[in-house]
Structure 1
Amino acid sequence: MIEVYSWATPNGHKVHIMLEECGLPYRVTAVDIGAGDQFKPEFLAISPNNKIPAIVDPDGPEGRPISLFESGAILMYLAGKTGHLLPTGTAARYEVLEWLMFQMGGIGPMLGQAHHFRIYAPEKIEYAINRYTNEAKRLYGVLDKRLAKSKYVAGPEYSIADIAIFPWLRSWKNQGIDWADYPHLKGWFDEIAARPAVQRGVAVLAEHRKPLNDEKARNALFGKQQYERR
């Protein structure tokens, strides 16, 4: 039984979806990031960057327990453990990994900044809003162009690259996106959203999610508590 420490965010959903797609048994512990649960010593012991998700697999490599943080690393681990959703061929494998890195280095950070300045920032800074909204549109354009010639993001087969990217696009409206501008990406998005395992994955912890706009949540996510040295 894999122990999952998570919250209903795009990065959390990646791991929930992957576990559902692979059919691995798992148990979820909610880490309420608005309440500051991510700073508890027991969570920091497995996720030193105080970010969700993290997992503990008691049946890790060579039969020994292993803990992992960083959602991309977790996706790669689960793919390796199960032999699913990451090709074994060298060229195809690296094609998936480059698009996974595209999500980790671009889609996640840039769309996260778009969310912050468009929704959560205490003051509306026009330069920041425009910068990250335009970058969101650029990244959507990269994906739309790719999906004009490829069934899935990293090639002809569904993979961890699709799983990594999909949850971040569910908040397209908050990112200033008009789907009419990205027809190929919209077709892919709708196909992924219809997968039963994806639907189960995004439902995990969904009932616990709440707006992160009170003072305590802002302090935990964007304020003094977040930036304390631990």
Structure 2
Amino acid sequence: MRIVFSTQEISDTGHCVRFFTSHMAVWVYADDKLIYSVEQLHSVFGNSPGVIWNFVDVPSETEQLTVIVRAAYPQVRQKKIDFYAGDTGRMYKYLLYSSGAEVIVSLLEIMVGVVLIGYWLMAHKRVPIERDISYFGVFALLTGIWSFNETKMATILIPSRTACAFVSAVSLMLMIPPFVQFMKCFWKIKDRWISETICVMAYLNFVIQMLLQLTGILGLRQISLEDLVC
């Protein structure tokens, strides 16, 4: 995808262009000079640059700005990209402040998870205590990690977006077993096969996706129902 802007469209509001890309390589040219790029990576975490808020400062003498994007996966090839122009500092502040509530909730989830897991590890050897606390702690921890990595603040402040995308995908896949076990213990559900089957399927899904990821056949973010059907 190739998008061309005139500097008049940008200079009226500021000298910075902001846009969000999801698993796309990016090259930005001021006239014919490359001023910004996000290259597609090839690592154990995947071949995608991840999700990124791109901030491009446009030189004042630029006459034409050209943005070229290339999708890492076919699934995101048709994804719409919105562009914003303005002052760099103000745009950073806007995104950081707007994600403040999400970050606080995510960090609280992580904190609750760590506290519950730590409490169960210390207490279960001394007094009889149900495992539902530990299951809920693991679930809260994974939920917090996943939700924090999806916030705008994390997208801006954490440079290794490929690793973050990997961690988010892993956290999301591993949420199911502790949640199922928590519900079973908390509600005292007496079943022999249903919960175990769900957990086994979740772990099997995790192993298969990790093998596909590590062998380079399919990335974690690339696997979908359409891929399996095709």
TM range (shorter): under 0.3
Highest relative contact order (Cα 8 Å, sep 6+), 1 or 2? 1
Q: 1 or 2, which has the higher strand percentage?
A: 2
TM-score, normalised via structure 2 length? 0.27
Q: 1 or 2, which has the higher helix percentage?
A: 1
TM-score, normalised via structure 1 length? 0.27
Structure exhibiting the larger radius of gyration computed from Cα positions: 2
